[in-house]
Structure 1
Amino acid sequence: MDDNPTAVKGKLIVFEGIDRSGKTSQIKLLSERLTLENIPHQTIGFPDRSTRIGSLLEDYLKRKDEEMPRQALHLLFSANRWENMSRIAKLLESGTHVLLDRYAYSGISYSVGAEGLNFDWCKVPDCGIVEPDVVFFMNVSAQNTCTRSSFGDEIYEKVKTLEKVYDVFRRFDNLPYWRDIDASDDPSVIHEKIYKTTMEIIKGPDRPLTKLKF
């Protein structure tokens, strides 16, 4: 990113939350509606398992019997985001809105809550990636998510672990672009809230790409 960037039309819209909180379902609903309205956008999920780094992360997440140094794992997740920054910046500069399924906030929350790493240390590797226009935090308890389908498929999906991860997520509540969404509500109601806020942001003024800082 340029240190003196020009304003871009594309908006970076992030969905965050613990596992099975409904992020992916809401992104799908939003994407379908934007498509119907001919609004250019692209969806990207993290970790992006299509890359070399992403394939390493996928391998680890599926193999519960293998270990990796916690710090190395955190840096791999961050590197996976960094390797997508040029792509994301180009999309935003072209006027294409980008919907992200997870971002730096997940990386930090899981490394601190599930792996016990230092909060301040975990923030450093992601300083400098593109700052979002909005983050929709799908707020739902770990006890609630454990009743949802496919719970427990990956290494981090354990109730006590997710409770700790949830607590770390709440440390981002004060960010100006953070929007708390009651994810226990009816999916259609959730979608309408997200859609309304998204359209307000899309119709808002263009702004330069800025670097994420905490």
Structure 2
Amino acid sequence: MTASQQTPTRRGALVVVEGLDRAGKSSQCELLRDYLSEQGHNVKYIRFPDRTTPIGKLIDSYLRGSANQDDHSIHLLFSANRWELAKSIEQDIAAGITLIVDRYSYSGAVYSAAKANPTLSLDWAWQPEIGLPQPDICLFLSISAEEAAKRGGFGAERYENETMQTRVRGLFRTLFERQKNVCVVDAGKTLEEVSRDIQAAVAVCVAQLDTVGPLRTLGPLAN
């Protein structure tokens, strides 16, 4: 078989994991990465914000409470942090790598809108996300703000308080009513049960990639 006759590389899947703080996202991302690797997939795991970039370092200072930013400007920095990696995400997916992403545009929009700033609505917050790579599936780890607050480490960063988390949960619900490819997972189950639910949902997503076609981009919120 000549190079020109070789079967094209099957693209990877873009899998996003979202949820309240302490919902178990990082643990489940790691379990999913290990599972997909064992299944023979080429997998990468990334998280947002990426605190290693120049923009990410500004965000890190803000989240740790050592720096203050206007609500609009910090929101745009979060979005810019995602745009910094947009091209590499597209390249990895095209090369057949499945990407697992811990937090993405959905968190970016709802956490900013949850501040209840009258000039920073959910629709305003979504605008800078339009054009970014669209996930093939977004897994939302559903847990109450009260349950999340009981978990270890809660309260270490700026947004980790029950009032904020309750607003965030409501806005996630509103946002997901206007989005496709969202799978709600009960994160109140055991670690193993949640992992199995995630694996099953992602397996269906991966099996449908040939039907879905090329990676798409995020569009405006549906009305």
Common fold: TM-score over 0.5: yes
Evaluate the alpha carbon distance shift between residue 83 and residue 108 of structure 1 in structure 2; reply closer, same or farther with a 3 A threshold: same
Q: Which residue of 1 aligns with 2:216?
A: 210
Does residue 108 in structure 1 map to residue 109 in structure 2? Answer: yes
Q: SS of the residue aligned with 1:48?
A: coil
Structure 2 matches for 1:1-214, cutoff 5 A? 9-63=11-65, 66-114=67-115, 116=117, 117-174=120-177, 175-206=179-210, 207-213=213-219, 214=221
8 A contact 1:172–1:178 mirrored in 2: no
Counterpart residue identity of residue 44, structure 1: I
8 A contact 1:135–1:179 mirrored in 2: yes
8 A contact 1:130–1:211 mirrored in 2: yes
CA distance in 1, matches of 2:158, 2:214: 38
Greater relative contact order (CA < 8 Å, ≥ 6 in sequence): 1
CA distance in 2, matches of 1:7, 1:91: 11
The one-character-per-residue Cα deviations of 1:141-186 (angstroms, maximum 9, x if unpaired) are: 1100011000111011000111001110001333220011111111
More deviation, 33-42/139-148: 33-42
Q: SS of the residue aligned with 1:68?
A: coil
CA distance in 1, matches of 2:158, 2:139: 24
Evaluate the alpha carbon distance shift between residue 57 and residue 10 of structure 1 in structure 2; reply closer, same or farther with a 3 A threshold: same
Q: SS of the residue aligned with 2:17?
A: strand
8 A contact 1:70–1:115 mirrored in 2: no
TM-score for the superposition, normalised by structure 1: 0.93
Equivalenced residues, count: 208
Unaligned runs of 5+ in 1: 1-5
TM-score for the superposition, normalised by structure 2: 0.89
8 A contact 1:7–1:209 mirrored in 2: no
Evaluate the alpha carbon distance shift between residue 115 and residue 55 of structure 1 in structure 2; reply closer, same or farther with a 3 A threshold: farther
The one-character-per-residue Cα deviations of 1:57-100 (angstroms, maximum 9, x if unpaired) are: 01111125x42110000000000000000110000000100000
